[in-house]
């Protein structure tokens, strides 16, 4: 398990074990790959980030992940796999997020992309995201670096 402090000075715990913090977490975050590129979204307030969001009532975390990818990028998930989980000790509440890796079969243009401007494809996630104001705070802690490392290891990239 990894522990660190995030962009907002909250403590974060991260693990790539099987659901260490909650069996049914309320949040999901999806590292997406489409045609040999990373698929992100541009959130209207936060900036570039991998898609994700909240699990709705009567929905599994897995289903939420697939829905969020479609809503925020237009991406159709071909395959999705749980890779880990993190817990953020926020000022008001504690949240737990499942991390997934998804491959995308096609990008379908949507009429709207919820709170985002839609899909953004990147060959590489730049080294300097931490200091880059165009990137969301959720991309600015160790979750990103360690998740990409985990994905590359597991899927032999
Ligand atoms: P609302 O009902 O919309 O308020 O959502 P929520 O309160 O269930 O969760 P929210 O997204 O507001 O997040 C609660 C806390 O967790 C805040 O302190 C956020 O900064 C923090 N947080 C949410 N997502 C992430 C994330 O992916 N990474 C990090 N480091 N912090 C996060």
pLDDT tens figures, 46-64: 999 999 999 999 999 999 9
pTM for this model (two decimals): 0.96
CATH number at residue 147: 3.90.79.10
Does 133 contact ligand 1 (Cβ within 6 A)? no
Task: Say what the pLDDT of residue 118 is.
Answer: 98
3-state SS record for 26-57: CEEEEEEEECCEEEEEEECCCEEECCEEECCC
Q: Which of the listed residues 88, 99, 138 should we mutate to test ligand 1's pocket, taking the one with most ligand atoms within 8 A of CB? A: 88
Tally the domains of the chain: 1
Does 144 contact ligand 1 (Cβ within 6 A)? no
**Tokens 């395959």, located at residue:** 79
pLDDT confidence band for 152 (50 / 70 / 90): very high
pLDDT confidence band for 77 (50 / 70 / 90): very high
Domain that holds residue 48: 2-155
Integer Cα distance of 157 and 143 in angstroms: 18
Greatest alpha-carbon pair distance for the chain in Å reads 41
pLDDT confidence band for 80 (50 / 70 / 90): very high
Residue nearest to ligand 1 atom 22, measured at CA: 88
Does 97 contact ligand 1 (Cβ within 6 A)? yes
Give the rounded percent of residues in the chain with a pLDDT score beyond 90: 99
Q: What is the ipTM of this complex?
A: 0.93
- Closest CA relative to residue 50, chosen from 156, 149, 147, 132: 147
Neighbours of 30 (CB within 10 A): 27
Does 146 contact ligand 1 (Cβ within 6 A)? no
């Amino acid at each position: 398990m990894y522990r660190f402090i995030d962009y907002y000075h909250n403590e974060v715990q991260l693990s790539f074990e099987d659901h260490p913090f909650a069996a049914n977490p309320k949040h999901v975050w999806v590292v997406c790959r489409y045609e040999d590129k990373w698929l992100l979204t541009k959130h209207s307030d936060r900036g570039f980030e991998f898609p994700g969001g909240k699990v709705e009532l009567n929905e599994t975390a897995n289903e939420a992940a697939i829905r969020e990818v479609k809503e925020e990028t237009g991406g159709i998930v071909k395959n999705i796999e749980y890779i880990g989980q993190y817990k953020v000790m926020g000022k008001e509440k504690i949240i737990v997020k499942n991390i997934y890796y998804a491959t995308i079969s096609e990008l379908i243009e949507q009429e709207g992309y919820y709170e985002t401007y839609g899909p953004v494809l990147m060959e590489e996630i730049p080294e300097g995201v931490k200091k880059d104001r165009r990137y969301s705070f959720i991309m600015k802690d160790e979750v990103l670096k360690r998740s990409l490392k985990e994905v590359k290891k597991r899927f032999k990239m």
